[in-house]
Amino acid sequence: IKPDDCHFAKTRLLSLENTIGGKVLPLEYLAQARDFVNTHSLALHLDGARAFNAAVELKVDITEITKHFDSVSICLSKGLGAPVGSLLLGSPVLINKARRWRKVLGGGMRQAGMLAAAGQFALEHNVERLRDDHENARYLAQQLSEINDFTVDMTNTTNMVYATYTSSINIEDIAEALKQQGILFSPSKQLRLVTHLDITREDIDTFLNALSAHI
């Protein structure tokens, strides 16, 4: 929290992300954050792009997570499978202010009903199936860890897999070779692999087999 100094902006908000890096924030931690902001007269925001992943992994209703926050943003694409869209949740005062700022910044959309319908479908049909993504990610992590020269972070519990590799691997050459097979990934020192609605167990095996063939 910044000091009361005219050289600094006043601290007014604590923002948390859940999940973050594929990891779920414990409910106890969220309760502690709520107590902290209450003590210091701050607001608490949830960057909940993958909040449903956290709820599914914790086996709780998402309200057990969101009840601690003053505002929440939730992505309808990613694991939920909508083509586009996010939700902002908060008090009527906050939402009215957000609508005004959206208008000021030119962010309004007309005839958005079809996209809204896709978002509604995602919320009604694609939440519990996030468990499939988590299981696929664990499968990917386990199988990738058995490939020589790869080290996988096995602590992630949702739909993200992080892996590093030894200097003996030329990741750029591998990425180019797999591109010729229609498999795309960004070569970097740490690979972030994410499972979602359109990734099947067979897709994972295809990737792993192609990767192994070029190690």
pLDDT in tens, the chain (215 residues): 999 899 999 999 999 999 999 999 999 999 999 999 999 999 999 999 999 999 999 999 999 999 999 999 999 998 999 999 999 999 999 999 999 999 999 887 888 899 999 999 999 999 999 999 999 999 999 999 999 899 999 998 899 999 999 988 899 999 999 999 999 988 899 999 999 999 999 999 999 999 999 88
The residue extents of the domains of the chain are: 13-125, 130-213
Render the chain in DSSP notation, one character per residue.
Answer: ---S-TTSPPP-EEEEESSBTTBPPPHHHHHHHHHHHHHHT-EEEEEETTHHHHHHHHTS-THHHHTT-SEEEEESSGGG--SS-EEEE--HHHHHHHHHHHHHTT---SS-HHHHHHHHHHHHHSSTTHHHHHHHHHHHHHHHHTSTTEEE-TT--SSEEEEEE-TT--HHHHHHHHHTTT------SSEEEE--TT--HHHHHHHHHHHHHT-
* Domain covering 130-213, topology: Aspartate Aminotransferase, domain 1 (3.90.1150)
One CATH from 2.60.40.4070, 2.40.50.140, 3.40.640.10, 3.30.930.10 for 13-125: 3.40.640.10
